[in-house]
């Protein structure tokens, strides 16, 4: 077995462990953490608004589907379909916008 | 427990970052990626619920290791997707620090083996500390470490690396 080679290899790696390239700036890391925390707080404040938007879209979509099912005339049926599609798209958009990173 | 102050964080960073960057650089085999992971690990430490001072280092290594493994999983998924859609793979940028012979051999191990060997033989961490960093049992560490060491020895022999570098 080449045990000495292994041990020497690990010693070589250990000797090369610390890079001469300067570390990322500590203040920059602290600031990035602060910015992320502020953004998280802002998202928390906006959460009820997002929920209301989401509920409004669900209601619109449900209404559209109900309209489509209950109304007989072809034109109204088309209008209901368009309405449902629009609500569905809005719902998808809101979900995308409110999705976590 | 008090959250970490800016000064406390700066002192902890200066004390731990050089070694952690070395670990991430070898784990990721990419110096730029290592710096990204390093920064993310410290940001998560700042955001974490106050961690006992004695636990901070373990928390940091666990977070950094998880971030690196998540990155590898994501990269593998992306590559699978690119292959499925027959899209061209992105061309990797030239490495900032060209790898030496031993570093190239080390990069041939899988990420878990690299993490195990580094923590055990460079950081000289105990089996309990390694288990905490990698999220596995202490008994598993013993077996996995043995296998990783055997694999590294075999690679060194196959690539004819003597005394740590090419003859």
Interface of A with B (CB under 8 A): 1-14, 16-19, 21, 23-24, 26-30, 32-33, 36-37
pTM exceeds cut of 0.90: no
Which long-range contacts (C-beta less than 8 Å, at least 24 apart) are formed by B86-90? none
Which of the four pLDDT bands, split at 50, 70 and 90, describes residue B89?
low
Inter-chain touch A29–B42, beta carbons under 8 Å: yes
Average of per-residue pLDDT across B110-138 = 91
Is residue B81 pLDDT above 90, yes or no?
A: no
Task: Tell me which residue in A14, A24, A33 faces B38 most closely, judged by beta carbons.
Answer: A24
d(CA B127, CA B162): 28
Q: Are B153 and A1 in contact (CB under 8 A)?
A: yes
In terms of average pLDDT, the best of B41-50, B65-74, B79-88 is B65-74
Helix (H) or strand (E) holding B9: helix B6-28
User: Given this model, what pLDDT does residue B52 score?
Assistant: 77
Which of the four pLDDT bands, split at 50, 70 and 90, describes residue B75?
confident
Chain A residues with CB under 8 Å of B156 CB are 2, 5-6, 9
Which of the four pLDDT bands, split at 50, 70 and 90, describes residue B16?
very high
Average of per-residue pLDDT across A83-93 = 87
Q: What is the mean pLDDT of chain B?
A: 85
Average of per-residue pLDDT across A77-98 = 82
């Amino acid at each position: 077995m080449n045990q000495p080679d292994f041990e020497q290899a690990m010693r070589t790696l250990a000797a090369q462990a610390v890079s001469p390239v300067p570390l990322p700036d500590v203040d920059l890391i602290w600031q990035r953490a602060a910015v992320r925390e502020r953004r998280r707080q802002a998202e928390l404040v906006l959460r009820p608004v997002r929920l209301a938007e989401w509920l409004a879209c669900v209601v619109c979509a449900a209404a559209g589907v109900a309209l489509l099912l209950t109304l007989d005339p072809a034109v109204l049926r088309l209008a209901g379909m368009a309405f449902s599609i629009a609500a569905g798209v809005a719902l998808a958009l809101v979900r995308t916008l409110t999705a976590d990173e | 427990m008090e959250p970490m102050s800016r000064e406390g964080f700066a002192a902890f960073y200066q004390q731990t970052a050089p070694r952690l960057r070395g670990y991430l650089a070898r784990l990721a085999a990419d110096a730029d990626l290592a710096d990204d992971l390093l920064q993310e690990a410290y940001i998560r430490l700042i955001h974490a619920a106050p961690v006992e001072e004695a636990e901070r280092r373990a928390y940091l290594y666990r977070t950094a290791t998880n971030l690196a493994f998540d990155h590898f999983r994501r990269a593998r998924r992306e590559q699978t997707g690119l292959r499925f859609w027959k899209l061209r793979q992105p061309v990797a940028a030239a490495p900032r620090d060209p790898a030496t012979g031993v570093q190239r051999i080390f990069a041939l191990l899988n990420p878990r083996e690299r993490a195990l060997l580094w923590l055990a033989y460079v950081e000289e961490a105990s089996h309990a500390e390694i288990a905490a960093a990698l999220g596995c049992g202490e008994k598993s560490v013993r077996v996995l470490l043995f296998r990783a060491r055997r694999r590294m020895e075999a690679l060194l022999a196959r690539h004819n690396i003597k005394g740590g570098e090419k003859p």
